[in-house]
Amino acid sequence: MTFDDRAIDWLADLLADAARAEIMPRFRRLGEGDVRQKTSAADLVTEADVNAERLIAARLRERYPSAMIVGEEACSDNPALLKGLGDAELAFVIDPVDGTFNFASGVPLFGVMLGVVVKGETVAGIIHDPVGKDWLIGAKGAGSHIRHAHGALEKVKVAEPVPISQMTGAVSWQYLKEPERSRLARNQTKALSQFGYRCAAHEYRLLASGHAHFVVYNKLMPWDHLAGVLIHQEAGGHAARIDGDPYLPSHVDGGLLVAPDKQSWDQLRRELWAE
């Protein structure tokens, strides 16, 4: 089966099914053996991540048997599964619990993310909030909306451009090396205020709905960013790698700067990296 926009509601409901069956029953109920470290004490995986990804992947294989399926936890065990994402005829990229640190800590800021890639281009993105029971959905050329639990659709739009002194933003500096790490941390003080949710799902929601202006990410794994960048762009925003090149599904490095528009992006690139 090929992908078309009519499948978006089915995909959105699939993410909610996984949240109801595998994620929320474990929230604030994780046992001692249900949480493991991956690369560090801040990089965790839980039974909710693993089981939600298995459920989503299995349902996708039933409906789209020839599609490439890229899940964060499967790729953690076998990084070679990422190979070919940029060339696949159809691929689904899954982050079963984005914000696992928050989830494991009992903090209700986490989400389920899904990106749809067709021939190297992201064409749809869905971010489900299992706590709020709603979805942030974007489709190529069709804009971005919040689909509320009661069924209503609310169109979202990025914030209006303002000088950096009036911007709210986030710089994910923990994956940066010196001296860039200290430079960005220092220059972030040029902005009005900052946020740091430890959850890209909610950070992209904040940006796409116009409640904040920018983020800087250095670590580019597709499950963290494909859905959010597409949603943000369809809400009117501008995103690019730090060198100005477009961000593509095949990219896993080069950093990412997300802003309300190209002019704001240029201003942030200049001011945040100033010596």
Per residue of the chain (275 residues), give pLDDT as tens: 678 778 999 999 999 999 999 999 999 998 877 888 876 766 778 899 999 999 999 999 999 999 999 999 999 889 888 999 999 999 999 999 999 999 999 999 999 999 999 999 999 999 999 999 999 999 999 999 999 998 899 999 999 999 999 999 999 988 888 999 999 999 999 999 999 999 999 999 999 999 999 999 999 999 999 999 999 999 999 999 999 999 999 999 999 999 999 999 999 999 999 99
Query: Are 123 and 249 within 8 A, CB to CB?
Result: no
User: Cβ of 186: how many Cβ atoms within 10 Å?
Assistant: 11
Query: Are 39 and 76 within 8 A, CB to CB?
Result: no
Which residue intervals of the chain are DSSP H helices? 8-18, 47-63, 72-77, 100-105, 180-187, 200-208, 222-234, 262-272
| pTM for the full predicted model | 0.95
* E strand segments, the chain: 35-40, 43-46, 68-71, 91-98, 111-118, 121-129, 134-139, 143-147, 153-155, 168-171, 193-194, 214-217, 238-240, 256-259
CA–CA dist 36, 158 (Å, integer): 36
Query: Are 93 and 117 within 8 A, CB to CB?
Result: yes
The CA-atom distances, in angstroms, between 3 and each of 6, 63, 123 are 8, 10, 10
Q: Cβ contacts of residue 39 below 8 Å, gap of 6+?
A: none
Q: Is 60 helix (H, G, I), strand (E, B) or coil?
A: helix
Residue 132's pLDDT is 97
Residue 41's pLDDT is 65
Residue 5's pLDDT is 75
Q: Which of 157, 167, 246, 154 is nearest to 209 (CA)?
A: 157
CA–CA dist 222, 97 (Å, integer): 14
Residue 85's pLDDT is 94
What the block records as the tokens of 227 is 């859905």
Q: How far apart are the first and last CA of the chain?
A: 52
Amino acid at 36: R
Residue 180's pLDDT is 93
CA–CA dist 119, 80 (Å, integer): 19
Residue 38's pLDDT is 73
Residue 6's pLDDT is 82
